[in-house]
Structure 1
């Protein structure tokens, strides 16, 4: 097969691992910077121009799209889809997962456990907002935040009111969530590929840090999920239409609570913690589901 990895940096761990896995499985692989792609649209002839040539005859694409470039990245993925190229993450699922509020609404509709969440465009009812999520402390998140950035723990009602009003004055869109005390600054990342959990880790925030993101100095260890946690992770990924996803959950007294479903989860943390070759799991998913292009069929039959 001929596989394209959409990544802005070929030296990133996740990109390198996917390249290694694809080559080990005997496939051709190219790393393509999606922001340098030119999308050409005409009647029944979608095209992508990149580095002086048209991108042709790919069997599959693996999107590694950063949150800050979701709009253009998803457009490139959609163009590949129009060319009948299989994608490990569909363009609409990518867009859906990046909208924190929309994704929470979908998860809620499908009956998944969530921290109680409030979204508002009106800052004058701060007392009601804080009360609705159980009072202080509360978690305040920017809808466009990622890797723990734009996430604030407000430990008192006064602090929460100040942060909410400040964000609203800046015209920033936020959600306010209940603080799950029993999680003790830890969460679970379950890595889902093709409807199965292929690995899971527990991430613990560093001393004095409520965010467990590894990018912010947190640590990780392998964890065996309960049947309920496994089912929740699989159901959450399916609800958002993601076949490759990192599902983040909090352990609570009322069961697993989904906090986010990541459509471009990093491989370094999960592979280091679990020892599982997750990159190969993704390549195997492609092998199972991607139809071969005519060129690849001709090579096999030659």
Structure 2
């Protein structure tokens, strides 16, 4: 099989391991930076060019789309989907996974237990927001952020108020 790993960095451990495992099974594996892809949008024959080379030989795609390139990375995955190329993760799944609020709502709807959580766009009554989750200590998160960035443990009300005020500007 001709497999493309969409990754900005072929030296990442996870990307290297995918290459090693694919090659050990006699697949042809190529790492492609999604930001260097040109997407040709047309009804009859959607296509992708990578560094002036038409990617019409790809059998499967393994997306490794970082949070900082979600928009265009998902557009590239979606283009492969439009070309009827198998992808291990769909563009919609990647987009859904990056939306913390949607993820929490979906998990709650299907009965998966999680700590009581409050999402607020902006509340001037910080005390009330803290009370809604049962008081301190509280974990405060930005809606966007990955790998622990934008996450703070506030052990006291004063700390929580300071963090919320800083996050809200």
TM surpasses 0.5 = yes
Shift of 1:149: 1.1
CA distance in 2, matches of 1:17, 1:121: 40
Contact 1:123 1:165 in 2 (8 A): no
User: Taking structure 2 as the reference length, what is the TM-score of the superposition?
Assistant: 0.97
TM-fit CA distance, 1:122: 2.4
Q: Which has the higher strand share?
A: 1
* Partner residue, 1:123: 123
Instruction: Give the match for residue 91 of structure 1.
Output: 91
Q: Unaligned stretches of 5+ in structure 2?
A: none
CA distance in 1, matches of 2:115, 2:62: 31
More displaced, 124-133 or 20-29?
124-133
Q: How does 1:154-169 map to 2 (within 5 A)?
A: 154-169=154-169
| Corresponding residue of 1:57 | 57
TM-score (norm 1): 0.55
- Please give the secondary structure, in 2, of the residue aligned with 1:123: coil
Q: How far apart, CA to CA, are the structure 2 residues paired with 1:42 and 1:52?
A: 18
Partner of 2:23: 23
Conserved 8 A contact 1:123-1:164: no
Structure 1: runs of 5+ lacking an equivalent: 170-302
SS of match in other structure, 1:124: coil
How far did 1:81 drift? 0.3
Q: Deviations over 1:105-153 (max 9, x none)?
A: 1111111111211111222121121111111111111111111111111
Q: Report SS of the residue matched to 2:102.
A: helix
